[in-house]
Amino acid sequence: MRRTRNVIILVVVLALLAGTYVYLTKHPQQAEQDTESVEISKLNKDDIVKMMLESKDGSLTFIKKDDKWVAEGNESIGLNQTTVDDIAYTFASLYAEQVVEENPQDLAQYGLKEPVVKATATLKDNTTKTLYLGNKTPTGTYYLMTEGDPKVYEVWMNHGEHLSYTLNDVRDKTLPQINTQELTYLKMWKEGGRTIEIKTNESQTEDQAQFGLGLWQMTQPYSEPVGVDTQNFQPVLDALPNIAIEGFVEDNPKDLAQYGLDKPKGELIVKDKQNTLHILIGDDKDDTQVYFKTADSPSVYVMSKDKLSFMDTKPYDIMEKFAYIVNINDVDRIIVEAKGKTHDITLTRTTKKAEEEGEEDEEVTTYKVDGKVVEEDPFKKYYQSLIGMTVDAENDKQLEEVPEVKTTFFLNKGNKREVHVNYVPYNNDFYAVFRGDKAEFVLSKQQVDKMLQDLEDLIAGKLKAD
């Protein structure tokens, strides 16, 4: 019984296939026509100079100026040129998936009695092309008609989306992109915090670059510039590319106070060798987003608050911790005063002429402590002890500058040729470090004691190079 039923089904299937074959062989042209797209509009895209989209929500007009699209009446708003071009491509190369009805009697069923969108393109020769967009079909495509043609077409969904664009859909949502590998400047502050300002260190030496030191200098908030710790600064650099417009709020607000942007709650300025990103931060929109604007535009946007969390970075966390570091080649003399003694350290440089042609002259440095010549390697070991001292915390006390240990550096380059770094007791374990009449950091007395002991060992000839 089951075998008989299967045979019957097989016969029916074969009969249907045979019938289809016979039909196609007798109607080959008709079969080909059914699979071909129908041309609706074919224009030269570059000849389009104006496009108008009219809907129940209003009209939106784009005009070509200097080979760029602008929104008529809103010329100050940056547009995503590629997105606007999508509309032009629809006018320039529009094909139907199929003709739905040749002479429709009821346009309302297609949303074309009162079209959802009336789209008109104007060409250089002042001729126009008008399209009428209807409803979306159950499969996601769209119904469409053209002016002067009674047919109703079905068009690809992208065409329907292009003709339905609003100003928000086509506005440029990008911000200036900063190449963090070429960062030259950063300034940031948030309400309740301190301003951090970082600049490229123009005087970075080859030795510093080799060890990742001295690439940037922090010029705020401290009274004297300090180096930036590249490793600790990296999370800030990593966060910068994530800054983005996530939503549009208002183009020309009459009152920025409603967004907290009349008196911003924060500011970020970042520069590389080509671009500048400058944003002002306002109130929280909600628990997850914050209002912001660019400095050169009135438009208000929102972005996720967590994308700005790097602005909570504390300046101490990303600074190099050296009490004072300077390249030995920039130093001519150092005076160290401590425990009733004053030591005078000098570095005298002379040029030794090359003995043979083609060889370079050699710079020879003579190191002396209190007029006595010391060997180069032990001296450099002491120098590392002197400039290698690192601070342990920020100073939270008001102290009078009455130092137990004083160091004075005499430099041979830069605007400031005499630098005083003095050490004033903070408590039994720490010194406050005074530079430029201010003590902003503290360091352990152990480091200073070791530096002084290394100096005594250098004088006594006991300090050995590693």
Starting at the edge strand that comes first in sequence, how are the strands of the sheet with 289-294 ordered?
Answer: 226-227, 216-220, 196-200, 185-190, 266-271, 276-284, 289-294, 300-304, 247-250
304: left (phi over 0), alpha (psi -120 to 50) or beta: beta
pLDDT of 150-184, one tens digit each? 999 999 999 999 999 999 899 988 899 999 999 99
CA 234 to chain centre: 13
Which segment of 112-121, 201-210, 248-257, 381-390 scores lowest on mean pLDDT? Answer: 201-210
Q: What is the dihedral of CA 347, 349, 355, 357, to 10 degrees?
A: 130
For 51, phi and psi rounded to 5 degrees?
-140, 135
In 3D, which of 162, 72, 164, 51 has the Cα closest to residue 111?
Answer: 164
Angle 280-74-265 from CA coordinates, rounded to 5°: 10
What mean pLDDT value characterizes the chain? 90
**Separation of alpha carbons 46 and 64, rounded Å:** 10
The yes-or-no verdict on residue 422 having pLDDT over 80 is yes
Beta strands in 258-315 (DSSP E): 266-271, 276-284, 289-294, 300-304
For residues 230 and 218, is the Cβ–Cβ distance under 8 A? no
What local confidence, expressed as pLDDT, does residue 204 receive?
59
Share of the chain above pLDDT 70, in %: 90
Angle 257-261-262 from CA coordinates, rounded to 5°: 60
**Separation of alpha carbons 330 and 201, rounded Å:** 15
pLDDT of 364-387, one tens digit each? 999 999 999 999 999 999 999 999
Q: What is the pTM of this model?
A: 0.75
Q: Average pLDDT in the 229-247 region? A: 95
Residue type, 5: R
The residue whose two tokens read 């030995």 is 328
What local confidence, expressed as pLDDT, does residue 355 receive?
74
